[in-house]
A and B are shown apart, each in its own frame.
Chain A
Amino acid sequence: MKKLNQMKWNGSRIYIGLMALALAACKKLPEKKDYLSQDATFNKKVVYEPILGRTALELTQFSADGSTYPLVFSIENARSKQGHPAPELFQKIKVREWQRDYTGLETSLDEIEAKRVWVDAPFLEVRRGSGDLIFRNAPSSLIRAYPDSGYMFDIKIQNKGNERIIKDFWLRPMQEVPYEPYEYDLRTRERKTETRPRPNNGGSNTVPFTIHPVNLAKMYYTKDSLFRDTLISVYFTKANATGHSLTFKFLGENLEPIDPAKFNNTKWDKLVHGFNRRQTATGVTYDVGYPVPLTALKTLYASEGKANVTFGYSRRGFGGERLDAAFSLNFAIYEPGDWTITFAFRRNPIFNDD
């Protein structure tokens, strides 16, 4: 029996030896994980100043430094600058999102509206895969805006097997700007000023800022005096907060309406991406979708995030010369409503042939 035990022991010794031999080759393999660079960072941490009242995508220019995508970004520890909780940042608000792409070729307002839907979403969101920040259309009644010191938040980055938190992003939203160009300063909300040359080359006057058209061409108010842009002021007025129309009006030097038909060179059907044009002796009205322009896409009506309108008229000038007069305005309107854009001419333009 003892012998048998001995044999068993011998046998198991051999067995253990063989096992050890076999296991010797085994190697603990490194964990399969992605790479998340310690140098991965956001090029901008302070200060994000989105303007309230519009939906914006802010490219954070996250530099991954070779980190393995897909990455997952999330906002952590959002708080006010003083360190208090800030639930309003994530309070769901009703905003519109695009479902299909806006092309600028839509033929009715309904067709445009069919491409967007109302959703409930928070003001602040980080784009999950790329780290870009989304600021949705929230009012300053909800979100604290400048001059308040704003909010702080951290962004957590994760990929397989790694996690990093990048701390202390500063968010200081700006109050709403209903349209652009805007007469008031973004921060102080005081009227901006501009300088206008005095007549007869006598220096300049500093006056409250008004909006002027651009690219003035061949517009005469006397036989030989050309309009300077400061001789035309543009006023944006909103009548009805739920409307969706845009009206262009023109006023002469005595604030009398100018018949839009006088701007006979204007391509009224391609002026704005609006529909159902209604032209009267005092103005031209379109049904439009807000904001104007709807997206940053370059279309017939807009470029670089601004709607482009050009009005023109043609007349025979002095000596029989054909004068194609024109002026333009690049603008954006962010709030819906029945808006009117009024061009006030401080001198009466000459529409008649010389």
Chain B
Amino acid sequence: MKLFLYRLIPVLLLMLLGAGGLQAQQVTVKGRVIAAGERDPLPGVSVLLQQPGAAAKPIAVTDGTGAFSVTVPGNAKLEFRFISYETTVVSVNNRTTLNVSLKASATSLKESVIVGYQKKTRETVTGAVTRITGKELQDVPVSNLEQLLQGRVAGLNIQQNTGAPGFRGSSSIRGLSNIMVSGSGDNAYLTPQSPLYVIDGVPVDANAGFEYGFQSMGPGTSPLSLIPPEDVQSLDVMKDAEATSLYGSRGANGVIVITTRRGQSNVPIVRYAGNLFINFPPSLRSTVGGKSERDYRIAMINATNNLNEIWRIGRTPFLSDSLNAFFNNSTNWQDIYYQTTYNHTHNVSVSGGDQRLNYKTNLNYYTEKGVIKNTGFDRYSVNQNINFNPNPRLQLSGFLSAGLGKKLKGSGNGLTDVGAGKDVSSSLLPGPSYFNNVGHFTSSIYRVNDTRTYDIRSYLNIMYELMPYLQLSTNTSYNYTSDQEDTFIPALANNDKPAVYGYSGRKSNLYNRSAINYNRTWNDKHTVYGSVFSEATIIQVQNKIINQSNGPNDYYHGPFGFSPWFSTISGTPSNGGFSEVHSVGFAANLSYDYDKKYVINLNYRADGNSYAGENERWAKSPSIGARWNFNREKFLENAKWLDFGDFRFSYGINLRPTTNVYASLGWYDVKGNYNGVTRIAPHLGQMPNPFLLPEKVEQFNYGFDMSVFNGRLGVNFDAYTKTVYNMLYTRYLPTSTGFEKTFTNDASLYNYGYELNLTVRPFKSTSKINWTISVNGAVNRDVLLSLPGGAAQMMSDDKTIINRVGYGALSNYLYMYEGVYRDNRDVPVDPITGLRLRNEGADYFKGGDAKFRDVDGNYILNDADLQVAGTPVARITGGFSSYFTYKGWSLNLNGTILFKRDLLNKALAERMAKVRSPFGDSTFVNISDLDYWKNNGDVAKYPNPYDYYSTAGSYREYQTLFQEDGSYIKINAITVGYSIDRKWLRKYRMNAFRMYATVTNPVIFSGYSGPNPEAVTDLGRDRLDTYPVSRSLSFGLNIEF
């Protein structure tokens, strides 16, 4: 109490003095703010006047040279705030010149992060949140922002599984959230588990066209591809339930909050960032061409000793008619598809203003031609924000962004490119020419593709301080995305029928959030923050496609009009073609901290969703979090070595309503007439389940952070468990129900894991050398807890993925390959029948065939010999980065780590399949690098590839021969930069000038035999037609005026 009085008296005195008009002597303080290490001036630093008992009042902002000038009382304390620098408080003490150097925030503790739509200092955050500043993301030109997050955050697993410009890889936070596998074979895909993105306070669905799986119908451009990375101020990645709970049901897979830059300087700042980058095609597969190819093929056919096969040679002109000039070629087709491309990107931003009114405009242009011809991505974007505080109580901010993404998709759907990957022609076929038609080629190169995504995003945010400590705010946003695609396929590429494909889609998202916040600190010790808000969203989607063929010629690209002659399909695709979702949410948050030492957070949110099962409309997400900043305890008060240290705990539940409207509400068809009345009846394929519950994700998170020796060593550690209950799963029904299947909530999944982030700064912060090394890693294990109907295991559609209770959720289900039979005598013999091992219903195995494990020991290889083999889910993911500066020089490096993942090298499987079809007209891949069986007695890794007529199925796709460890360590990018000394720049009136060169994807260390262990599907299948991830070299320039 005494202490309290002592502190209160000066405050009261001050207030009294103020009220009496007796002010302390005013002084005008001038000075400069510089960065401590680099000694560069910092423009845009907020200068705040500390007021006892109230929030610090912003009074100035440093200009382009870091200078400021304020008039304050002589005894005032000034606070200097700048993002990613430590907030510094300086007492004026009647000085008139103040030179302040801000230390880069080594400890990252004082910086604020945005959690649950609120800005909080990191000290009071109880959840697991990681912040990345825009500065770390600048130097690499990318078409999709998400790529830059790869390897940066422990537990955020981003895989760049396609190199197609403008497309998005896969991302997931903390292991699997869903295990439903749809489709089969190469096209099997895992339900996407992308986190929710919140861009400047507005939730945005980053998925685009994912409902179609690999059969992407439209442009498939993610909104994230339309955000210029240069415009990003910061990214906050939220992993646990407590941090995400206020984002409602859509945050159940984690949340990534993106904040774009704002104006901060009185003097307008013009920033230019430009990049010239060169993309190099990957090394191509070595192929066999010309006479060698023909010889190989014919030798293989002759080796069958089968009259019928040999006879077929004569019926296959490109094999038999070798003297015909038409077939006497040796064309390297692959080379024709791939190219080295020169690309560039430019970004200009103008920002300025002060605390009262500030603005920012950003213009961005990005163009990238893909390494596969006829593919590419262009981005045009303009965005603008204005913040206006007409008086200290009212704050208005508005934002408008317009983006246009233009894509060229070639013959693939963008994620994959069929032409260049899968269907490369035989070298013997006539070379590239329009009229000597080679269908594979014509279809990918002469296809005319015009694909646009227009994206308009806007918001208006109004905040009003009704009375001290109580604020009202409302945020309304409207996003509109229009997807257009027009594709023309010339006659020669489509069986002499010119075809057109059109896609037109629109998606709008109207969103409002209104909140009441109460924020007050008593006695400098007790801080209470309370907030209640409501959220409402309306999302409308409508997509149409038209697919017509039989056009008149290659010059008329439509419209064809309606006629059965032209039309094959047109209309709204039943899967994801039309939807309208209304959702409302109510949330409350209460947090309390005692002297920033003990923090407790309580959140509650309820979401109603029109997609939810009729009887289960509301999803409720409660959560709780606590934090103990033990460095503030008395016994550590004098521990100078300790910067901060804390323990965190959080627990929460997120409910995720189904995203499948048919699952809960059913599907009805028009089914003919009854008594002259049109009859509408349930679609019998799928039974609605009105009792469908939202999926429930329950998370526990235990965290520990510590930083010692002025940020020279920092540790963040999180342990978590994440249980998904009521997981949506297809359940097949007995035919007596009249329905084929329904969706139920019977499956549940458990994830647990550990995340560690380690930061080391080998040099003191006062040293000229600034070097930050950080390493992060996450270990995640998933265990399937239950399956529908108490089943112990379930298979995917094509029976190659198995889900087993008690084990990891997804496993490959394969034939076990155990080598090659050296000769016939090596094949096991049934002692009873005296017969060799054989495939069911097929011939006996022989020397050179694959040795598969006969699990059931009946000397017959069949489905009973399939075994659980490996898991396509990575166990360990992580990344590393190094940031080194010395004077004007900088050297940055970052990379990604992934361990313990089993891939299916289907690229090799398909490549072998092509070699094994001598009559096929696909390219003949050189396999001389493989250790394969050639003669009796050979001990080889691969079975005899030339024995194509055999029934042994030695090269079947789903076997462990093609399952490989997909662990890798990848360097994402290396950047060397140089900033020119300001003394020189002043002559040219520039503030900063930085040049840099970046190599992207320079090297990947992996034992995987395929081209790239990363460019595989979510299910770990390396498709032959994957769009390769290219290596690129870029030269960049940043100028600031």
A residues lining the B interface (CB < 8 Å): 21-22, 24-27, 29-35, 55-57, 64, 66, 68-71, 97-103, 115-116, 127-130, 132, 134, 294-297
- Select one of A22, A69, A98, A130 contacting B833, CB under 8 A: A98
Q: What are 7 residue pairs bridging A and B, where the CB atoms are less than 8 Å apart in the complex? A: A21-B649, A68-B804, A69-B855, A70-B856, A97-B832, A101-B835, A129-B854
Shortest beta-carbon distance from B305 to chain A in Å:
16
B651 touches A24 (CB 8 A): yes
B858 touches A127 (CB 8 A): yes
Q: Which A residues are CB-close (under 8 A) to B855?
A: 69-70, 129
Q: Which A residues are CB-close (under 8 A) to B702?
A: 22, 25
In the complex formed, the residue of A with least CB distance to B722 is: A25
In the complex formed, the residue of B with least CB distance to A32 is: B806
Q: Which A residues are CB-close (under 8 A) to B732?
A: none
Shortest beta-carbon distance from B844 to chain A in Å:
8
Shortest beta-carbon distance from B310 to chain A in Å:
23
B864 touches A130 (CB 8 A): yes
A55 touches B806 (CB 8 A): no
Listed from nearest, the 3 A-B pairs whose CB atoms lie closest are: A25-B700, A129-B857, A130-B858
B834 touches A29 (CB 8 A): no
In the complex formed, the residue of B with least CB distance to A97 is: B831
C-alpha spacing A186/B864, complex, angstroms: 35
18 A-B pairs besides A69-B867, A98-B834 with CB distance below 8 A are A24-B700, A25-B700, A26-B721, A27-B750, A27-B785, A34-B792, A68-B804, A70-B856, A97-B831, A100-B829, A103-B824, A115-B834, A127-B858, A129-B854, A130-B857, A130-B864, A134-B832, A296-B833
Shortest beta-carbon distance from B662 to chain A in Å:
27
Q: Is B742 an interface residue (CB 8 A)?
A: no
C-alpha spacing A283/B854, complex, angstroms: 47
Give the A-B contact count at a CB cut-off of 8 A: 105
Known A-B contacts A57-B830, A128-B857; the reply to A69 vs B864 at CB < 8 A is yes
In the complex formed, the residue of B with least CB distance to A98 is: B834
Q: Which B residues are CB-close (under 8 A) to A25?
A: 651, 700, 702, 720-721, 752
Interface 0/1 of B785-828, CB less than 8 Å to A: 11000011101000000001111000000000000000011010
C-alpha spacing A176/B807, complex, angstroms: 51
B835 touches A29 (CB 8 A): no
C-alpha spacing A26/B795, complex, angstroms: 28
Shortest beta-carbon distance from B746 to chain A in Å:
14
- Select one of A34, A66, A134, A297 contacting B834, CB under 8 A: A297
C-alpha spacing A294/B832, complex, angstroms: 11
Q: Which B residues are CB-close (under 8 A) to A22?
A: 702
In the complex formed, the residue of B with least CB distance to A100 is: B829
B833 touches A57 (CB 8 A): yes
A98 touches B827 (CB 8 A): no
B864 touches A29 (CB 8 A): no
C-alpha spacing A57/B858, complex, angstroms: 10
Q: Which B residues are CB-close (under 8 A) to A99?
A: 829, 831
A101 touches B806 (CB 8 A): no
A27 touches B825 (CB 8 A): no
B864 touches A64 (CB 8 A): yes
Q: Is B48 an interface residue (CB 8 A)?
A: no
Q: Which A residues are CB-close (under 8 A) to B833?
A: 57, 98, 295-296
Q: Is B591 an interface residue (CB 8 A)?
A: no
Q: Which B residues are CB-close (under 8 A) to A32?
A: 806-807
C-alpha spacing A296/B844, complex, angstroms: 12
Q: Which A residues are CB-close (under 8 A) to B793?
A: 35, 66, 68
Q: Which B residues are CB-close (under 8 A) to A103?
A: 824
In the complex formed, the residue of A with least CB distance to B701 is: A25
Known A-B contacts A69-B856, A69-B866, A297-B834; the reply to A35 vs B804 at CB < 8 A is yes
Q: Which A residues are CB-close (under 8 A) to B792?
A: 33-35, 68
B residues lining the A interface (CB < 8 Å): 649, 651, 700, 702, 720-721, 723, 750, 752, 783-786, 791-793, 795, 804-807, 824-825, 827, 829-836, 844, 854-858, 860, 864-868
Q: Which B residues are CB-close (under 8 A) to A296?
A: 833, 835
Q: Which A residues are CB-close (under 8 A) to B844?
A: 101
In the complex formed, the residue of A with least CB distance to B862 is: A130
A102 touches B834 (CB 8 A): yes
B858 touches A132 (CB 8 A): yes
A30 touches B785 (CB 8 A): yes
B858 touches A129 (CB 8 A): yes
C-alpha spacing A69/B868, complex, angstroms: 9
C-alpha spacing A134/B833, complex, angstroms: 10
Q: Is the interface of A mostly helix, strand, loop or mixed?
A: loop
Interface centre among B783, B786, B806, B854 (most CB of A within 10 A): B806
C-alpha spacing A33/B805, complex, angstroms: 8
A295 touches B700 (CB 8 A): no
C-alpha spacing A15/B133, complex, angstroms: 38
C-alpha spacing A29/B784, complex, angstroms: 9
C-alpha spacing A249/B864, complex, angstroms: 49
Shortest beta-carbon distance from B433 to chain A in Å:
51
Q: Which B residues are CB-close (under 8 A) to A130?
A: 856-858, 860, 864
B858 touches A29 (CB 8 A): no
C-alpha spacing A115/B866, complex, angstroms: 31
C-alpha spacing A57/B832, complex, angstroms: 7
Shortest beta-carbon distance from A101 to chain B in Å:
4
Q: Which A residues are CB-close (under 8 A) to B831?
A: 97-99
- Select one of B720, B723, B804 contacting A27, CB under 8 A: B723
B834 touches A295 (CB 8 A): yes
B807 touches A69 (CB 8 A): no
C-alpha spacing A35/B813, complex, angstroms: 14
In the complex formed, the residue of B with least CB distance to A56 is: B832
Shortest beta-carbon distance from A241 to chain B in Å:
23
Shortest beta-carbon distance from A92 to chain B in Å:
15
- Select one of B786, B835, B856 contacting A129, CB under 8 A: B856
C-alpha spacing A260/B833, complex, angstroms: 34
Q: Which B residues are CB-close (under 8 A) to A102?
A: 834-835
Q: Which B residues are CB-close (under 8 A) to A57?
A: 830, 832-833
Shortest beta-carbon distance from A97 to chain B in Å:
4
Q: Which A residues are CB-close (under 8 A) to B795?
A: 66
Shortest beta-carbon distance from B636 to chain A in Å:
17
In the complex formed, the residue of A with least CB distance to B837 is: A101
A29 touches B750 (CB 8 A): yes
C-alpha spacing A34/B867, complex, angstroms: 11
C-alpha spacing A296/B865, complex, angstroms: 23
Known A-B contacts A29-B806, A69-B864, A69-B865; the reply to A101 vs B858 at CB < 8 A is no
Q: Which A residues are CB-close (under 8 A) to B865?
A: 69
Q: Which B residues are CB-close (under 8 A) to A71?
A: 856
Q: Which A residues are CB-close (under 8 A) to B723?
A: 27
C-alpha spacing A38/B581, complex, angstroms: 43
C-alpha spacing A72/B834, complex, angstroms: 23
Shortest beta-carbon distance from B800 to chain A in Å:
14
Q: Which B residues are CB-close (under 8 A) to A100?
A: 825, 829
- Select one of A33, A116, A295 contacting B835, CB under 8 A: A295
Q: Which A residues are CB-close (under 8 A) to B804?
A: 35, 68
A101 touches B864 (CB 8 A): no
C-alpha spacing A64/B793, complex, angstroms: 13
In the complex formed, the residue of A with least CB distance to B785 is: A30
In the complex formed, the residue of A with least CB distance to B723 is: A27
C-alpha spacing A109/B116, complex, angstroms: 86
Shortest beta-carbon distance from A298 to chain B in Å:
10
A101 touches B836 (CB 8 A): yes
C-alpha spacing A35/B794, complex, angstroms: 10
C-alpha spacing A236/B700, complex, angstroms: 82
A33 touches B806 (CB 8 A): yes
Q: Which A residues are CB-close (under 8 A) to B830?
A: 57, 98
Q: Which B residues are CB-close (under 8 A) to A34?
A: 792
C-alpha spacing A130/B783, complex, angstroms: 30
Interface centre among B784, B833, B855, B866 (most CB of A within 10 A): B833
C-alpha spacing A35/B824, complex, angstroms: 36
C-alpha spacing A127/B649, complex, angstroms: 56
Q: Which B residues are CB-close (under 8 A) to A132?
A: 858
C-alpha spacing A57/B857, complex, angstroms: 13
Q: Which B residues are CB-close (under 8 A) to A134?
A: 832
Q: Which B residues are CB-close (under 8 A) to A56?
A: 832
